[in-house]
Amino acid sequence: MLMGPMLARYGEAYMPTPGGDKIGRRRLDTHFQGLVELGAEFNYDEEEYFYSLKATELRGKFILLEEASVTGTANIVMAAALAKGKTRIYNAACEPYLQQLCKMLNRMGANISGIGSNLLTIEGVEYLRGTEHTMLPDMVEIGSWIGLAAMTKSEITIKNVNWNQLGLSRILSEN
């Protein structure tokens, strides 16, 4: 998740091949595809197992993602926020976490529209400023507690959940 911001801010980003869980396939190509489309040069060092991206300038572009990756979309959005010109990302992920990232970036001075849809439009800006932000609660954790209460026929109260922040997923589930 740091590759896009580092590339946009410093013109380069490096990372070792990630490890992690064995839950399922964790594709990186969506991240790299989008950043290369914005103008980055990609390199993978097979001996060191190290990825690198470099760009003298990122430029907006129409990007069609092969996979609606939440973290891939986020990485591209963060880089595109500081790219020159307009970036349009089709097949963008639109989960609540990505919606909150886009709204936070807009408060920081970014110009992102289409939030909550699978077509995001980002007009690059010169700089971003600071903001305050409160993270959404973990929806998997909330769902687990709801499931536990249903299975045990118990009463629980889930606090600090603002349904209005759950974006379009809440609206769609009500219909």
Residues tagged active-site: 21
Q: What does the DSSP assignment read for 3-28?
A: HHHHHHHHSEEEEEPP----SS----
167 exposed, middle or buried (CB, 10 Å; 0-12, 13-18, 19+)? buried
Q: Bridge partners of 14?
A: 52
Q: Are 7 and 34 in contact (CB under 8 A)?
A: no
